Structure 1
Amino acid sequence: MNPSYILTLSCPDRLGLVHGVSGFLLEHGGNIEEAAQYNDPVTGLFFMRVQFACGAHDATSLRADLAQFAEPFAMRWSLHARAEAMKTVILVSRQGHCLNDLLFRVKSGLLPIDVRAIISNHRDFYQLAASYDIPFHHIPVTAATKAQAEARQLEVIESEGAELIVLARYMQVLSDNLCTQLAGRAINIHHSFLPSFKGAKPYYQAHDRGVKLIGATAHYVTAQLDEGPIIEQDVARADHTDTVDDLAARGRDTESQVLARAVKWHSEHRVLLNGHKTVVFR
C-alpha cells in the first residue's frame, strides 16, 4: 500500500485553489482519500485539509515541490505522514481524570498520539505513568522557582521532540514566555463553557450564579488567560439542587470527552488557526 499523507494549508482566497491543489497532487501521483475546505468571508482566507496516498514521491521531494507550488499563493502549509503518531507531553496536577482518560484511549488505539512524558508539579500520578511505561517528571512549582521549573519543563518537552503539549488539568498559569514558545502546540482544558467563568474555581462561580448548564472548553494556550482559540466545547445539565461538588463530579466526564476530541483532531491535523479562532475539519 502507498504511504498516506495529510496536507493542510491556508492562504488568501482566490479562484482555482481547489483545482490547483488537486492538480498538483495528480501530477505527483497522489490519490485523494479525504478533502475538506473552508472560505472565510470575514478574513478572506481559504483553508484546506487533504489526505492522500502517494507512492511515486517521498515526503522530502513532496515538501520541496510543495514549497515552489505554494509560493505564488502565499500559502502557509504543512505536510505530515499519516502513520506517524504525534509526539506528546502531558502536564497534570492533582486531578487525574483527563490524564487517565487520554492514556486509556491511547492504549486502546483510539487516540493517535505517542505520549513521551508526563510532567507534574505533584507526585500523585507517578504510579499511573509507570503502569503505562511512560517517564514521569516531578517538577515542583512555587512563586520563587517558577522560572527554573518552566525551564526544566521546556527542556523535557524539547528533548522529547513534542509536537503537542496537553495541559490535562494542570493548575498552574504558564508564563508569557513559555506560552510564546509553545504557541500553536499546547492545548488546555478549562472546566467552564468559555467565555463564561474564566480563571480560578469556575464551578464555584457557576454555582454562585445558579446556571442550568455547565461546560468544558479545550483551547490553545496563549499568554491571555483562558482566551486562546477554542477547539471544542460541550455542556452538561445542572439544576438548583446541585452543590459545587455535584457540578465538579458531573463536569469531569465532560472535561475528559472535550479534551480527548480536541487532542484527537489536533493530532490528525484537523485544526487550523484562523486568527483568534479555529477551523476544525471534523
Structure 2
Amino acid sequence: MINLEVIRNLPETEIPVDYTEKDAILYALSIGLGHDVEAELEYVVDLRLKSTPMFALIAGHNLPWLRQPETGIDVRRMLHGETSLTLHRALPAAGRVIVHGRISGVVDRGPGKHVSVYFEQRLLESGTSEHLATVGGCFVFPGAGVRADASGSQAKAARPPDRDADVELEVCIPSNAAQLYRLNGDRNTLHVDPEVARRAGFEKPILHGLCTFGYASTASVRALCGHDAQRIKHIQGRYSTPIYPGERMRTQFYQLGDSEYAFRCIAVERNVTVLDAGQLILQSGRG
C-alpha cells in the first residue's frame, strides 16, 4: 500500500545523468525517427548528430522514489497518466545533465479510488547550470485512495475541439517497437512478456507510454515542423488506453493559433483514443 504522507514529503533530488551519442541515436530510432526520411538523418547518424529534444524525456526520467521501499510503491500496479516536456535550449548530442527532481502534487480521489502523483524534473547542463528542459507528468495508482485531498500543482487538460482535424498523420507502430524502446532503460516486462501482459489484463504486451508519446512527437515533427524537431517548444498529453505494437496510430492536429495546436492519437484498428488532451507549442519564427 502506498504511503502518501511519505510521498508528499519526499525531498528534492539532484542527480547527474551522463549520456552518449549512441544513447541519443537509439532513442531517436526507437520513436520512429530516421525511417526512410533523409531529412531526419541528423538525429540517427553520428556524422552530423543532433539530439532530438524529446530525448530529454529519457535523460530526465530518473525517478528514484519509484523504488524506495518507504513509499510503498509497486511499479507493477501503477499506470502512466500524463507526460509534458518544455524545451528551453537544445540538448547537446552527448554530455552530462544535472536533473533536479521534485514531487509537484498528489491528488487523492477518496477511499478505494485512484491516486495521481505528479512530478517535475528540471534538466540543467553540467558546468554551466543552463536550464535545458523541464519534464513533467504523473503516475496513477488505482484503488490507492485514502481520503479526498489534492495538494500541489497539476497539469490542465485541453481537449481537442469538436471539429475535423486540420492535419492528420498515420503511421504503423513496428511490431518490435517495445523491444527496441526498452533498451532506453525501461525494462518493465509488461511490454515484452505475453504472460505478464495477460496477468495484467491485456491480450498481449502493450507499448510503453513514453514510446507512444515519442511517436506522437515524431508525428508533430513530420506533419508540422518540416522534420525540424528543434521547433518543438512544449508538448504534453494524457494517456487514455494503451496501444499495441503492430497497430496503426493516427495523430490528429487542431490548430489553435499561429504556433499552438491541440492533438490526440487514435489506435486505428480499434478506433480508440490512446493519447488525449494533447497540447503542442512550436518555436515561432522558424521554418
TM tier relative to shorter chain: under 0.3
Q: Which has the higher helix share?
A: 1
TM-score normalised by the chain length of structure 2: 0.22
Please identify the structure whose Cα radius of gyration is greater: 1
TM-score (norm 1): 0.23
Structure with more contact order per residue of length (Cα contacts < 8 Å, sep ≥ 6): 2
